[in-house]
A and B are shown apart, each in its own frame.
Chain A
Amino acid sequence: MYHYLEEELQQLTNKILKMGSLVEEQLNLAVKALFESNLEYAKQVIEQDDKIDKYDVKIDKLCQRIFALTQPVAVDLRIILSALKTNNDLERMGDIAVNIAERAEPLKSHLELLRNVGMDLMAEKVRLMVSKTLDSIVNNDPDMALSVIKADDVIDKLERDIFHKLIDLMEKDASVIRPCAHCITLLRHFERIADHATNIAEEVVFLVDAKIIKHRKNLDDLDSNAEKII
């Protein structure tokens, strides 16, 4: 009985990791499409989203099967609960990667604007955050997960800074309103990806330590070895 469950849970973890690396690849390609004005890459991202959606359904079905057949408890139950939520967040991240790729076309002659407001920095930090989130899943590492959660504040601050820069630019020069409006949407996409990464990191803490930390304002009491990652 147990071996069956063990194999199913291993399969579930593998699927989450594969889906995670697909999402990471999609995000990387979308960022490349954007900053290299490469519409071929953008098209690839849009076409490949299908793969992520298929994982989403596979993982849901697998979780359903494990629940129905094995009635898991304790850590086994947490693995499945966190997989279900992580799956949800990864799927959303995949959709947002598509949204980012879709900005490559309208912003293709505005690379300088992107760099001037610091969008490249934003993209880099969000990519790093996503990569560390996946590391925390692979290694079952709540400290790394907490580092990710703390990094979200950096992203939020950066978002506000870039937002104000864009407003200033538009106030000064009405001719940049159109690209700047695209940038505001783009900014929001990056910020949302960081939020989903944070949600996943919270699930890693739940899975390993059985603690529910989402919606908490202060995480200082967790006595972690979290490091600054971005």
Chain B
Amino acid sequence: MTKTKETKITTKKLNLFYGKKNALKDVDIQINSNKVTALIGPSGCGKSTFLRTLNRMNDLINGVKITGDIQIDDEDIYSNKTDIVALRRKVGMIFQKSNPFPKSIYENVAYGARINGINKKEWLDDIVETSLKRAAIWDEVKDRLKEMATGLSGGQQQRVCIARTLAVNPEVILMDEPASALDPISTSKIEELIFTLKNNITIVIVTHNMQQAARVSDVTGFFLNGELIEYDSTRKIFTSPNDERTQNYITGKFG
């Protein structure tokens, strides 16, 4: 795939080392705006590591060395000038295990706005309501915004976390197995949500659930041993992949 004006994220010759272990090998990828890109591959293949390079979450791990380029909107996110807080505001993240703060539902969603200096109640109310609506959970929590977010079900907590991410208006959301700890109904709510969010947000999702990748994504990348083996439209990957290793993985012959 060649770089076009729709390209949101570009990596070139991206390598990542955990100490001596080369966990990502020369990854070249172009991720398009307002699309859902799924990353699949067996455990330890580097897909989560790759995801975490996109908002510099790996910076927090000792002994990590990264070489190569990552650009988001033509900006080198590993440059010395990069404001990491601004980067993580622009590139939000949702994890496998929902991680609401031990605060009320309202305060969870208002948190980002507050630390950005917004304190006016009407504004905060508006941000909280809009974000919870965008995360498709407003109707379920609107009457108990002052209750602890940690008291919600797993699926609801995850959507509150998505609302919290949405509250700071990210352009990209990284999702690392966002539904793997959820029941099927909560899972399908998250999947529907992903489908609506992609209208104005670029989503990159790591998933072990192949059917989920097939259902929610427009483009799929298959990682194996730190290499990006195949990257193509989801339709192509799940009907007639080019690489035999991709075919073997998606048909369950290994992994």
Closest to B255 in A: A2
**Cβ-neighbour of B241 out of A1, A5, A74 (below 8 A):** A74
Contact digits for A1-23, partner B, Cβ 8 Å, 1 yes 0 no: 11001000000000000000000
Please state if B240 and A74 are interface contacts (CB–CB under 8 Å): yes
Bound complex: CA A5 to CA B251 (Å): 9
Please state if B251 and A71 are interface contacts (CB–CB under 8 Å): no
Bound complex: CA A142 to CA B238 (Å): 22
Please state if A75 and B211 are interface contacts (CB–CB under 8 Å): no
Please state if B239 and A74 are interface contacts (CB–CB under 8 Å): yes
Please state if B240 and A2 are interface contacts (CB–CB under 8 Å): no
Q: How large is the interface on B (under 10, 10 to 19, 20 to 34, 35 or more residues)?
A: 10 to 19
Please state if A74 and B247 are interface contacts (CB–CB under 8 Å): yes
CB distance from A159 to the nearest CB of B (A): 35
Does A210 make an interface contact (CB < 8 A)? yes
Does A117 make an interface contact (CB < 8 A)? no
- Which residues from B are CB-within-8-Å of A72? 251
Bound complex: CA A220 to CA B72 (Å): 45
- The SS class assigned to the A binding surface is helix
Does B193 make an interface contact (CB < 8 A)? no
Please state if B253 and A2 are interface contacts (CB–CB under 8 Å): yes
Does A68 make an interface contact (CB < 8 A)? no
Please state if A73 and B239 are interface contacts (CB–CB under 8 Å): yes
Please state if B250 and A73 are interface contacts (CB–CB under 8 Å): yes
Please state if A73 and B253 are interface contacts (CB–CB under 8 Å): no
Contact digits for B240-255, partner A, Cβ 8 Å, 1 yes 0 no: 1100000100111100
- Which residues from B are CB-within-8-Å of A76? 251
Q: Can you give 28 contacting A-B residue pairs, CB < 8 Å?
A: A1-B252, A2-B251, A2-B252, A2-B253, A5-B251, A5-B252, A72-B251, A73-B210, A73-B214, A73-B238, A73-B239, A73-B250, A73-B251, A74-B238, A74-B239, A74-B240, A74-B241, A74-B247, A74-B250, A74-B251, A75-B240, A75-B247, A75-B251, A76-B251, A77-B239, A78-B239, A210-B239, A210-B240
